[in-house]
Amino acid sequence: MYGIMISAGIIIAGAVGYKLVIREGLSEDDFFILSGIVLLFGMFGAKLLYLIINWKEIEWGKILEWNYIQQLLGGGFVFYGGLIGGILGLVLVNQISDINVMNYVKTAIPCLPIAHGFGRIGCFFAGCCYGIPYDGPFCVDYQAPTLAPVGISLFPVQLLEAIADFLIAVIIIDLIVKKGQGMFGIYLYLTSYVIIRFLLENFRGDSERGRWLLFSTSQWISLGIGCIIGGFCLFKIYKKRRREKWELHH
């Protein structure tokens, strides 16, 4: 079911992105190229960060055995690694080609929360990224063997994150279609997701995320991205005010 949800997310997100790109009069060929790059670099980044976080669990004595390599590559991905990898892929394309990458990012940014939302539903069915023990409303009990503990009521954190992703996507699509504010959509997605992810990490019960001091790996990354966004916004405000002062005196 995990693979089905991942595939569904890629297909549906791609269809939405394609429709938005065509609506804006952008090249569908360039969209497919960028989508492939994001998917390739994103999967590589997601797997790489997972391996970095869990390097202590790797059986290095088996690292050259093909079956063990397949086992390492077969499961375990970290979303933030995928996000960073996808961004690096887009930066690379922007440097080596004449594609205006930012136009496509501004237009197709809803693809990201859509695909991620389906991925989280896949996590729910697979039992990975499970929540803390919880016996309140909407708690989940895994009975069949999964990655989650069996017979313990858990908080449905995967589904909550999926709902948040879909809501973000709907809001951004509305901004793009009705108001043409794709750039604001990027800021909105990154800002809202890092806040949501930082908070939801407190409801995660799996131990594969890595932890340093008070926060998990994803919480530290959320803080880092949040600081970058905040710094960029302050820089934009500073430049705007400086320009206004210059225009006032000239």
Which H or E run contains 25?
Answer: none
Quote the pTM value: 0.83
Q: How many Cα atoms occupy the beta-carbon half-sphere of 34 within 13 Å?
A: 31
Tally of domains in the chain: 1
Q: Which long-range contacts (CB under 8 A, 24 or more apart) does 170-176 make?
A: 172/109, 172/110, 172/113, 173/16, 173/20, 173/110, 176/20, 176/106, 176/107, 176/109, 176/110
pLDDT at 157: 92
pLDDT in tens, 38-48: 999 998 998 88
Q: Which pair of tokens denotes residue 95?
A: 């440097």
Q: Which tops the pLDDT comparison, 13 or 73? A: 13
pLDDT at 250: 62
pLDDT at 218: 85
pLDDT in tens, 176-217: 877 777 678 888 898 999 999 999 988 888 766 667 778 888
Residue 56 structural domain: 2-249
> Is 159 buried (19+), middle (13-18) or exposed (0-12) by CB count in 10 A?
middle
pLDDT at 237: 81
Q: How many Cα atoms occupy the beta-carbon half-sphere of 231 within 13 Å?
A: 6
> Is 3 buried (19+), middle (13-18) or exposed (0-12) by CB count in 10 A?
exposed
pLDDT in tens, 148-174: 888 889 999 999 999 999 999 999 888
pLDDT in tens, 58-111: 777 777 777 777 776 766 778 888 889 999 999 999 999 888 999 999 889 999
pLDDT at 58: 74
Confidence of residue 113 (pLDDT cuts 50, 70, 90): very high
Are 121 and 8 in contact, with CB atoms under 8 Å apart?
Answer: no
- Nearest CA to 116 out of 129, 104, 107 is that of 129
pLDDT at 169: 93
The residue to which tokens 């919880």 are assigned: 134
Query: Picking from 109-113, 129-133, 224-228, 242-246, which range would have the lowest pLDDT averaged per residue?
Result: 242-246
pLDDT at 79: 84
Judge whether residue 249 has pLDDT over 70. Answer: no
pLDDT at 158: 92
